[in-house]
Structure 1
Amino acid sequence: MMQFYSLRTRIKVVLESVSVCLFFSGAVFAADIPSGKTGFESQIKPFFKNYCIECHGPEKSKGKITLHSLDGDLARGQDLERWELILDVLEHEDMPPEGEENRPSAENRAATIKWINSSLRDYVKKASETPMAVTTRRLTNFEYQNTMRDLLGLELELSKNLLVDPDRPYHFHNTSEFMMIGPDQLVRYKEAARKAMASAIVDNGEPELHQTIAKWKHGQPGKKGLTQAEIGVYQGPGVGRKTVKLKSWPKTGEFRIRVKASGNFPSGFQEVALRLVMGTDLRHDSGSGIYQEVGTIHLTNTSDKPEEFEFRGRIENIPIQPASNRRNTISPPSITITAQNIFDNGELNDHRKSGFDDSWSVKAPRVILESLEFEAPVIDDWPPEHHRRILFESPLRDSKTDEYVYKVIKRFMTRAFRRPVDREEVDHYFQIYKIYNAEFDTLEQAMRETLAMMLISPQFLYHTVIDQAANAKSYELASRLSYFLWGSMPDEELFNLAASGELNDPAIIEVQTRRLLADNRAVSFVENFSTQWLSISKMKTVNINHDLFPRFLYTVHVGERRGQEQLFRPTIRDYMHEETVGFIGELISKNLSIMNIVDSDFAYLNEPLAVHYGVNGVRGLKFRSVPIKPEYHLGGLLTQGSVLVGNSTGSAPHPIYRAVWLREAVLGDEVKPPPAEVPALSDSAGDSAEDATSIKNLLELHRNKESCYDCHVRLDPWGIPFERYSAIGKYQPLVPKDKVRVRGFNHKQDKTFADYQAYLRSIYTEKVNASSRVPHGPAVDGMMNLKKYLLMERKDEIAENVVRRLMTYAIGRELTYRDRFEIKKLLKLAKDDGYKMQNIIVLVCQSPIFTGAKS
């Protein structure tokens, strides 16, 4: 659909802007147009000649689109993309352009649509008898990571060492266009496979046990009003914490950390979060250090009822502090466990009078950490399950080793390749084993190398495509289901259904789809799908103007990093990302209408986000659905921080960015980037310029330029209704007068944030103008009116966009004209069902486009 959409975009952009409109007049079109070449020659071709060729012919081709070469013979299968684009333009009433006096009647438009639609349908029906060419695509890094986890039974961070997957805003990168393998990538796959097998298969004999224990006394006084066991929210310039340094650990294996913990809650507080991270020394002053999060617990128990909690992880995933030599003192490599108090009620910046002022720690919730015990590897059951999953117990191992190895290879290969394997394939890897067995001393060593070779084969690294009998296609469908909804390989239940042939039953597909969505592994699907669809990753890269928004980011208060965001703890932007992903997850898990993406009666929040948005009554860091009131100015995706911050300048809202997001992510258009010679628009808020000009005012000047008008007249109206939402995603109905420059927070002028807020109120006196007339629609004033318009007039486009996004992600390719009528059929079913999101996913999985069955 890359090429398809770019073509569609070009023709829509051009046809909307040209002065000559596409219309039919007179009674000749009152009846149906004759089918085939007769109808084209007698009525369609004259229409093109009279109204289109001037701008889209041999002498001029606006948007590089020409129509004079169309011959009307759709049965030959040529130029079908152009015909579908014309059909879409007519169906969406994008043509004739706005402002044209002569417009076709509803009857004439319907007759034209019917002719193109019928001709296109006839060709697709004939073409569907011939299967589409299969395109190979490798597993994405996300899919590779999950597949290795489920194949081996242990979680290793393997994808971090792979080349980063290509990324294109508002597109999925799981298509064959992106998912190719180069020589460097294969080398990295080999390294990852060998690392994985070194962990999955252990050596004979129980390993050495490594333990570290630390204890703190809650009854004994500590520093600055805290007990020895307490962790306050502040600590010097960084996050409140306690550290335990490990001097020894195994190279591989699972670790276990047990803590005895509770909370100390001043009046008004009932919860505090304890997070454990492991890695190098974390230096808040310099911002250096790397870590792996181990886990978070939300403490509600008090010191008189301490509880034990357990964390687990893999030691291979933990960054190691390298050995160092300082002042002739050699420090060996080490790992540091850091226990953090990550309490956040939205006031972290408000209670520090100086860089090292941590007096608020005694007034905020504290973590009470009485003990921490580290142990690795976990040897409750040895060898571990992930080893026995591969080298299963059998008397054949000692009596008939080759026969045992053959069975091991066949069983592992069947799961790794996600399908039955034939004898020739097994023989190939058995011969590889024989080579390694002659080189190594133990069976374990030989099998690690043999299976690592299997994990760099195309049959593992590429998606399962079976060119065999129809009954074998069930395995391909099983993989397609699991990679769609889990981003991973099928489990045993799916394999068994594929083997029995039952998976081809639509009723079984529905049951399995809902089962997969209810599994915890579907959480990662929701995040991966939502992040790419909505293009929200860029939100974390926006440079926030700290002077204008001093409370948005929790910042370092002293040293060379003063004013920069605190590292090594969750941030407000992390929570905004989780808000959006969790919101989509709620639509799926509760089977709510997809129209909630435009507006909803709930938000998905935790306390820091609720405080940021001005929502009352939310406590703690756990996310939950929260009923919202009209005065909160929230609901749906359009008012979420990930969207608003990600499509701002960091100082001001950016109506163009936000308009592009709305058209791409919600309406399903593809907006062309501006020409390279067009300079970017930038606001002057917070700059040293004497006169400040908003982006909205710059756009008014921009539209007066002839070269800019065509694009901006279609974009600006969609972004201007967002203007009452600031660069940090807060509702902001007032702004300064024109030419008034806003200064940032200044400690000398503003002793407190309350003083700065008073200053802002004194200059933010002008109501924001968020009114515009949307293309082919009415004037809308602000977000509420925009939402109402979208839900009244654009439901079909919104629904089609969501369905197309889900289908494209599910099948790993762009949609084409051949998929058009199945998509239309699916949309009709979804509409009749109220556009319920989980039900739509079921329909996608049952669709012939997804299953490969004939329509």
Structure 2
Amino acid sequence: MQFLIKPISLPLALFLALCFIDRCGVSATEVPGDVSAFLEQHCIDCHSGDEPDGDLDLTTLGFELDDLKTRQRWLRAHDRVHAKEMPPDDAMSLTSEQRMTFTRALSRSIVRAEAGHNDVVLRRLNKHEYQNTVRDLFDTDVIVHGLPDDSSTDGFDTVGEGLAVSAEAMTAYLAAADQVLDAVFGPKEKPKAIHHETNLLDQVDWRGRPMDQQIGKMFRQTDDGLVVFQSGYCPTHLVNFSRLRAPAGTYRGTLKVRAVQSETPVTLRIYGGDTIVNRREQHLVGYYDVPPGDWTTIEFTDRLLEAGGTFHPKCYATRDTRKDADTWPHPGIEIGDITIEGPLEPWPPVSRTKLLGEIDVTSANQADARTVLRRLLPKAFRRPIDDDDLKSYLELYQSSVTTGQSFESALRVAIKAVLCSPEFLFLIEPGESQIDSYALASRLSYFLWSSMPDETLFLLAANGSLSNPRVLRGQVERMLNSPRAARLTKGFTGQWLDLREIDFTQPDANLYPEFDELLRVSMIRETELFFEEILKNDLSLVNFVDSEFTFLNERLARHYGIDEIHGQAFRKVQLPDDSQRGGLLTQASVLKVTANGTSTSPVLRGVWILENILGTPTPPPPDSVGSIEPDIRGATTIREQLIKHRDIESCAACHRRIDPPGFALECFDPIGGYRHEYRTMATEGRRPKLKQAPFTYNWVRYRLGQDVDSTAVMPNGMTITDITSFRNALASDPDRLTTNLAEQLLTYAIGRKLGFSDRPLVDQIVTQTRERYYGFRSLVHAVVQSPAFQQP
């Protein structure tokens, strides 16, 4: 906003009142006098006419705060005046009293408008919560397929507004219920048990040829087995389940292995599922360190989702041989005896026994069905039930029996109806000023565990003590110490930090030949362990932007240029004093999800920081402004392109806030590597020293382009000289960081969008957290204890 003097013939209050007449001629909401007086004196000169500053014409905006878009624009005006960003300092100085008079009057109008639109939206379980809930309800490890992806609202898939039930979703829930019940009741006959002991010499390659045809070429024969060298390709199967006709299920495998021709451990990776023709499910089982010298036994437990799958070992980060294994001098892995056994699931399944108890299905009757349903429904509905709740499901059971179905089939019909009922699929939270104790138990459980309450929470809800602050605090501690709290890590960080989008783009193999699967897996694990450490030990949440530690394995440490980290197991690492790393913004996971596979954009990263870390999002750009396309040939830098972009007046105001934090991260490439120069695919330019990328051994084809400039000037005039000074700048305002994280946690926890009227409650949470030295665990407690968490 630049403030020029443009005379207006009518007093602003009258002018706006004339403008705010709707099409039917009915007067709209009246502009408060303090607001109109402020606008007339300080704003209208620049924000009117044919080319209003910031594309904001106050004379046509209207004051219909019932309209969400209009309310949001006035809210931004409130916040920019409150933050002393507007009016500009060079136009006119304002006293604190003038600003307060305007913001107070405007805030009262916004709060009144929000109050008329704060209806609570009934929240459905998202697909992750559904999966966890049926597992905990029935004590089964079922994996449900086919549920549609959930919409994200304000960054989270726990917000009720984005969780409507479409016809497609309802059809998917019917199919999902069948999958759940198939797992709960289990197969009618005990699955075939596999106990297979073998040696790689006994196996065949993927074309069915005996392994001895590859001896001396791809593999080296020893007295105890085979030495494998292949990293990218290795046609060896631990067990060919398609030949054994093994069922889907969980299997335990053991391998006797040792590294050869290496003084340090060599990494083994194992895949499960269809590892040959890619017609069925396949997945990574894990990465394992194999030391040299004596034999080591590696044990893994993994679930095959489909019958006929295999397990497949490969070396990792080794040079491949295809023709001279007997004389190949590089590291490999010797694999000896192999044992595979499973399925490990008991039969009948635990879930079946838990559901039916001592009931004999061959002679069971309606009384037995009543017993099962009366035991199941309170847990499924997460509240006590009465006879009316039970009646309709018993009628379904009896109707099925009447048509000739067996007890088990009829019971399945009734339970399927339970799993598709609103009482199961939705979080129903009755109450006026405060939700009832059972709804509180569910809200707490779905916040911290992404699943239904356990027996302890049900008992506390039943006796009415859960709402006691001391009891509630004790339960939060208990739940955060539970293994189920890993779901909070996955669910919250996956959305707050966009970690679920890690595979949305694939790095250009020519520009980033060192990128591979283990690096991608390690990126995510670092951030999750980092989050858990801060939460577990109530460390200051300032660590999220500036920390002295992180969690690394060898693969990620090498990527960061940190030496003396060996093996793929993660461990807490104290960062060197001169390290560029420290905090989320320097972690490869965040740097990858805020870039594409080819280039970085200060705009994308700057917007991400403003929204996800500082909680000060910018409005979307005008439709008339095009995007900036990266120059992969390296002729111009992104800074040069943005200078031209900022010459557009409608872009300049926002880019003054967006670009500086984005430029501060330009020293990191799209896969999180630290850089001094851009990489290009130009035909001219310096070549890097490496001819092959580390770990992958892919050929390096890129060239080094222009130097990276990551300096910036923040809107408050602070100069950012490097990533360390930027981290210090962010860490200097812990209240801003706490406010944002409190808003993110509240949105995720209570399942609704926060509004302007929630700000006082958020301020209370920030105050309580500040008193606890900004501890992250203390913030979680403050969120749970807040009135917002316990209100409908």
Q: Same fold (TM over 0.5)?
A: yes
Relative distance call for 1:695 and 1:87 in structure 2 (3 A) is: closer
1:776 paired residue among 707, 711, 716? 716
1:458 paired residue among 405, 422, 426? 422
Partner residue of 1:624? 571
User: Contact 1:242 / 1:338 at 8 angstroms: preserved in 2?
Assistant: yes
Matched, 1:370 2:337: yes
2:755 paired residue among 816, 832, 837? 816
Q: What letter is aligned with 1:216?
A: N
Relative distance call for 1:701 and 1:66 in structure 2 (3 A) is: closer
Partner residue of 2:301? 311
1:315-394 matched pairs, under 5 angstroms? 317-318=305-306, 335-341=308-314, 343=316, 347=317, 351-352=319-320, 363-364=330-331, 366=333, 368-376=335-343, 378-379=345-346, 382-393=347-358
Shift of the alpha carbon at 1:239? 8.4
2:522 paired residue among 575, 590, 593? 575
Matched, 1:94 2:37: no
Q: What letter is aligned with 2:709?
A: N
Q: Give the distance between the partners of 2:284 and 2:382, measured in 1 at CA.
A: 31
1:695 paired residue among 629, 635, 638? 638
Partner residue of 1:12? none
Shift of the alpha carbon at 1:815? 0.5
Partner residue of 1:796? 735
User: Contact 1:645 / 1:728 at 8 angstroms: preserved in 2?
Assistant: yes
Shift of the alpha carbon at 1:399? 7.9
Q: What letter is aligned with 2:621?
A: P
Matched, 1:134 2:96: no
Relative distance call for 1:246 and 1:543 in structure 2 (3 A) is: closer
Q: Give the distance between the partners of 2:472 and 2:315, measured in 1 at CA.
A: 43
2:220 paired residue among 215, 221, 225? 225
* Structure 2: unaligned runs, 5 residues or longer: 7-30, 203-210
Relative distance call for 1:716 and 1:60 in structure 2 (3 A) is: closer
Partner residue of 2:22? none
1:42-61 matched pairs, under 5 angstroms? 44-54=35-45
Shift of the alpha carbon at 1:487? 0.8
What's the secondary structure of 1:617's corresponding residue? coil
Q: What letter is aligned with 1:651?
A: T
- RMSD (Å) for aligned C-alpha atoms: 4.2
User: Contact 1:210 / 1:249 at 8 angstroms: preserved in 2?
Assistant: no
Q: Give the distance between the partners of 2:429 and 2:674, measured in 1 at CA.
A: 50
Relative distance call for 1:177 and 1:82 in structure 2 (3 A) is: same
Relative distance call for 1:235 and 1:548 in structure 2 (3 A) is: closer
User: Contact 1:80 / 1:817 at 8 angstroms: preserved in 2?
Assistant: no
Partner residue of 2:607? 660
Partner residue of 2:553? 606
1:725 paired residue among 661, 668, 678? 668
Q: How many residues align?
A: 751
Greater CA drift, 363-372 or 522-531: 363-372
Give CA-to-partner distance per residue, 1:527-586, whole Å, 9 cap, x none: 221121122344423342322332x224xxxxxxxxxxxxxxx43223212222332222
Relative distance call for 1:642 and 1:356 in structure 2 (3 A) is: farther
2:263 paired residue among 251, 265, 268? 268
User: Contact 1:258 / 1:373 at 8 angstroms: preserved in 2?
Assistant: yes
Q: Give the distance between the partners of 1:273 and 1:660, measured in 2 at CA.
A: 40
User: Contact 1:234 / 1:240 at 8 angstroms: preserved in 2?
Assistant: no
Partner residue of 1:246? 242
Matched, 1:553 2:515: yes
2:538 paired residue among 578, 587, 591? 591
* Structure 1: unaligned runs, 5 residues or longer: 1-15, 22-39, 321-334, 555-569
User: Contact 2:448 / 2:488 at 8 angstroms: preserved in 1?
Assistant: yes
Give CA-to-partner distance per residue, 1:445-493, whole Å, 9 cap, x none: 22222211211111111113235997x8111011111111111111111
User: Contact 2:686 / 2:704 at 8 angstroms: preserved in 1?
Assistant: no
Give CA-to-partner distance per residue, 1:178-228, whole Å, 9 cap, x none: 101111211111111012112211466x52533251411799996533546
Q: Give the distance between the partners of 2:421 and 2:86, measured in 1 at CA.
A: 51
Q: What letter is aligned with 1:641?
A: A
Partner residue of 1:11? none
Relative distance call for 1:41 and 1:440 in structure 2 (3 A) is: closer
1:259-298 matched pairs, under 5 angstroms? 259-264=254-259, 267-270=262-265, 272-277=267-272, 279-283=273-277, 288-293=278-283, 295-296=285-286, 298=288
Give CA-to-partner distance per residue, 1:687-709, whole Å, 9 cap, x none: 4xxx7222222112222344543
2:562 paired residue among 615, 629, 633? 615
Q: Give the distance between the partners of 1:469 and 1:105, measured in 2 at CA.
A: 39
Q: Give the distance between the partners of 1:738 and 1:272, measured in 2 at CA.
A: 32
Give CA-to-partner distance per residue, 1:136-166, whole Å, 9 cap, x none: 12111111111111112112221x3111222
2:783 paired residue among 829, 844, 848? 844
Give CA-to-partner distance per residue, 1:373-420, whole Å, 9 cap, x none: 2333644xx43321111111158x788732221010111111111111
Q: Give TM-score, length-normalised by structure 2.
A: 0.84
Q: Give the distance between the partners of 2:56 and 2:91, measured in 1 at CA.
A: 26
2:453 paired residue among 483, 490, 503? 490
Partner residue of 1:325? none
Shift of the alpha carbon at 1:591? 1.6
Partner residue of 2:181? 197
Relative distance call for 1:541 and 1:441 in structure 2 (3 A) is: closer
Partner residue of 1:143? 129
Relative distance call for 1:743 and 1:433 in structure 2 (3 A) is: farther
Relative distance call for 1:739 and 1:241 in structure 2 (3 A) is: closer
Shift of the alpha carbon at 1:659? 1.0
User: Contact 2:229 / 2:315 at 8 angstroms: preserved in 1?
Assistant: yes
Partner residue of 2:13? none
Q: Give the distance between the partners of 2:581 and 2:298, measured in 1 at CA.
A: 39
Q: Give the distance between the partners of 1:548 and 1:68, measured in 2 at CA.
A: 49
Q: Give the distance between the partners of 2:613 and 2:235, measured in 1 at CA.
A: 39
Matched, 1:207 2:190: yes
Partner residue of 1:438? 402
Greater CA drift, 606-615 or 132-141: 132-141
Shift of the alpha carbon at 1:174? 1.8
User: Contact 2:132 / 2:451 at 8 angstroms: preserved in 1?
Assistant: yes
Matched, 1:185 2:163: no
Q: Give the distance between the partners of 2:692 and 2:255, measured in 1 at CA.
A: 39
Give CA-to-partner distance per residue, 1:95-116, whole Å, 9 cap, x none: 223x524222345445655666
1:681-760 matched pairs, under 5 angstroms? 681-685=628-632, 687=633, 692-706=635-649, 708-734=651-677, 741-742=684-685
Partner residue of 1:513? 476
Shift of the alpha carbon at 1:338? 1.6
What's the secondary structure of 2:521's corresponding residue? helix
Relative distance call for 1:408 and 1:603 in structure 2 (3 A) is: same
Partner residue of 2:464? 501
Q: What letter is aligned with 2:162?
A: F
Q: What letter is aligned with 2:198?
A: K
User: Contact 2:657 / 2:715 at 8 angstroms: preserved in 1?
Assistant: yes
Shift of the alpha carbon at 1:623? 2.1
Give CA-to-partner distance per residue, 1:66-112, whole Å, 9 cap, x none: 489999999xx999877755543333222223x52422234544565
Relative distance call for 1:357 and 1:624 in structure 2 (3 A) is: farther
Q: What letter is aligned with 1:245?
A: F
User: Contact 2:613 / 2:740 at 8 angstroms: preserved in 1?
Assistant: yes
Q: Give the distance between the partners of 1:212 and 1:491, measured in 2 at CA.
A: 36
